[in-house]
């Protein structure tokens, strides 16, 4: 790698910024990267060129953080040092910060691998500096309405970014026609992973919503409707165009014999993968990691065993236990993520209480009309004892549920809602939050856990 004084100063500036924000009690994850780039605009390019083996990038609407963190876990379990933006700071500054954090005070980086999740809108900027060997694309769904606009914009942004690195191999979800279209358009080499059989016990209504039909079930090539043999959720399934030659590729990596009860399990390449992960979407995330590792010629025979020591990231199916009481915290920031959370929740037959917290700060998107695209009527299930709504838009959420004929309680903040339910003796509590509601909920649960363990 290149070494220069300016990069050393840039790394030191980042480290000082980290120290400074820690002293102020904040964990500003983008500031160190910003400071470093101000000192040396080429710092990301220089540091990332010091990665000894390979760089993996992870993009896609849902599942980025989990996919990236599982990948990191697998690489570290092989004894590698890995650069990773594990907390999910995935724009240019956050990605840069992950590298400066790992670099020494001399401005040199020592790492075997980098695995970095990258926000779709930031991908071009990041890829013009950091050149990944692989890009895992999880899926493409409509995100919060006013963040990126139409899904076409996201596809365009990603295409521009991918073309910055023509040798980068794409790891693509074969079941997502949007991802496959993107891969074919890019001209980059790609392989695919997928689920080729219908999966039992997946919410049959899931995927029938107007939104998802609008977004994904038309051929991007010619505009004709796609014909599906079956679908898993959203636009994910086995499809072909009713008019042109566009169709689902036969995946290089196929998950079969999928079970969803009591943690997902599946078979790939003759390996049985058993996990504590929930929901069909987890099969995709894990399969994506498996495929990427296989493409990079890793052994993977201990994939399932290694997974057992994985701890889920910040608010991604994160479980907090207080004696007999269990709280599952999960981010749900768009219709696809919410519908999959509902699926996962209904696969757990135990009695449960549910908290939904919706904020509308800038990172959440001001427009929360997407709540109407979530299949909330499905949570009118006998296993669900109560639903509590909270957050800034609690009343909108309550109204949404009312239309699905579901009564709900209100609490001002997610913290208050959690406290109230734990006090009432709930033993199985699901907390579904959108982006800015995640932080206070997480902080509260962590603090409560520390107090209890003290």
The residues of the shown chain that bind Zn ion, judged by CB under 5 A, are: 219, 221-222, 224, 241, 243-244, 246
Nearer to Zn ion, 180 or 357 (CB): 180
Question: d(Cα 145, Cα 334) in Å, to the nearest integer?
Answer: 9
Nearer to Zn ion, 246 or 320 (CB): 246
271-274 vs 318-322, strand pairing mode: unpaired
Nearest-approach distance from CB 193 to Zn ion, in angstroms: 22
The tokens describing 10, both together, are: 């840039």
Nearest-approach distance from CB 313 to Zn ion, in angstroms: 38
The tokens describing 14, both together, are: 């980042």
CB 352 within 8 A of CB 363: no
Nearer to Zn ion, 224 or 362 (CB): 224
Dihedral, 181, 186, 189, 193 alpha carbons, nearest 10: -30
Nearer to Zn ion, 201 or 222 (CB): 222
Q: What are phi and psi of 353, to 5 degrees?
A: -110, 150
Phi/psi region, residue 133 (left: phi>0; alpha: psi -120 to 50; beta: rest), is alpha
CB 81 within 8 A of CB 111: yes
Nearer to Zn ion, 73 or 220 (CB): 220
Nearest-approach distance from CB 138 to Zn ion, in angstroms: 24
Nearest-approach distance from CB 223 to Zn ion, in angstroms: 7
Beta sheet of 384-390, edge-to-edge order: 318-322, 325-331, 428-433, 352-357, 384-390, 409-410
Nearest-approach distance from CB 288 to Zn ion, in angstroms: 25
Termini Cα distance of the chain: 46
Q: Give the 3-state secondary structure of residue 262.
A: coil
CB 31 within 8 A of CB 22: no
Beta strands in 112-225 (DSSP E): 113-117, 134-137, 169-173, 190-195
Nearest-approach distance from CB 235 to Zn ion, in angstroms: 14
Nearest-approach distance from CB 154 to Zn ion, in angstroms: 20
Nearer to Zn ion, 149 or 223 (CB): 223
Nearest-approach distance from CB 220 to Zn ion, in angstroms: 8
Nearer to Zn ion, 181 or 370 (CB): 181
CB neighbour class for 98 (10 Å; exposed up to 12, middle 13-18, buried from 19): buried
55-59 vs 134-137, strand pairing mode: parallel
Nearest-approach distance from CB 140 to Zn ion, in angstroms: 17
CB 39 within 8 A of CB 99: no
Nearer to Zn ion, 50 or 216 (CB): 216
The tokens describing 104, both together, are: 């020494």
Nearer to Zn ion, 127 or 246 (CB): 246
Nearer to Zn ion, 224 or 380 (CB): 224
Nearest-approach distance from CB 242 to Zn ion, in angstroms: 7
The tokens describing 185, both together, are: 């358009």
CB 134 within 8 A of CB 298: no
């Amino acid at each position: 790698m290149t070494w220069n004084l300016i990069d050393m100063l840039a790394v030191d500036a980042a480290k000082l910024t980290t120290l400074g924000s820690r002293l102020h009690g904040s964990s500003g994850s983008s500031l160190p990267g910003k400071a470093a780039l101000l000192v040396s605009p080429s710092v990301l390019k220089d540091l990332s060129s010091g990665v000894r083996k390979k760089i993996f990038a992870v993009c896609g609407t849902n599942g980025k953080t989990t996919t990236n963190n599982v990948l990191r876990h697998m690489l570290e379990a092989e004894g590698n040092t890995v650069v990773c933006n594990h907390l999910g700071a995935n724009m240019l500054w956050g990605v840069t910060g992950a590298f400066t954090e790992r670099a020494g005070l001399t401005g040199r980086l020592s790492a075997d691998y980098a695995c970095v999740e990258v926000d779709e809108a930031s991908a071009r900027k990041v890829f013009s500096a950091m050149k990944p060997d692989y890009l895992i694309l999880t899926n493409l769904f409509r995100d919060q309405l006013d963040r990126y606009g139409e899904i076409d914009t996201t596809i365009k942004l990603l295409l521009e970014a991918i073309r910055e690195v023509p040798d980068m191999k794409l790891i693509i979800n074969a079941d997502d026609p949007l991802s496959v279209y993107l891969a074919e358009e890019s001209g980059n080499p790609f392989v695919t992973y997928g689920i080729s059989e219908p999966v039992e016990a997946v919410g049959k209504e899931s995927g029938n919503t107007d939104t998802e039909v609008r977004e994904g079930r038309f051929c991007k090539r010619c505009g004709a409707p796609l014909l599906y043999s079956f679908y898993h959720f959203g636009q994910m399934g086995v499809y072909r165009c009713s008019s042109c030659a566009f169709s689902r590729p036969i995946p290089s990596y196929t998950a079969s014999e999928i079970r969803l009860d009591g943690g997902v399990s599946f078979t790939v390449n003759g390996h049985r993968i058993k996990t504590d992960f929930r929901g069909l979407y987890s099969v995709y995330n894990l399969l994506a990691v498996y495929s990427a590792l296989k493409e990079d010629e890793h052994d993977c025979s201990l994939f399932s065993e290694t997974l057992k020591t994985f701890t889920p990231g910040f608010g991604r199916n994160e479980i907090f236990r207080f004696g007999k009481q269990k709280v599952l915290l999960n981010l749900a920031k768009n219709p696809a993520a919410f519908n999959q959370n509902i699926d996962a929740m209904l696969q757990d037959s135990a009695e449960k209480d549910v908290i939904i917290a919706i904020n509308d700060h800038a990172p959440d998107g001001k427009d929360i009309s997407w709540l109407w695209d979530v299949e909330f009527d499905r949570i009118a299930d006998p296993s669900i004892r109560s639903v509590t709504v909270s957050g800034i838009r609690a009343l909108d959420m309550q109204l949404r549920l009312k239309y699905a004929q579901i009564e709900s309680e209100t609490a001002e903040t997610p913290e208050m809602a959690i406290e109230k339910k734990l006090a009432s003796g709930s033993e199985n509590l699901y907390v579904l939050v959108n982006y800015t509601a995640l932080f206070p909920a997480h902080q509260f649960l962590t603090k409560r856990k520390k107090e209890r363990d003290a």
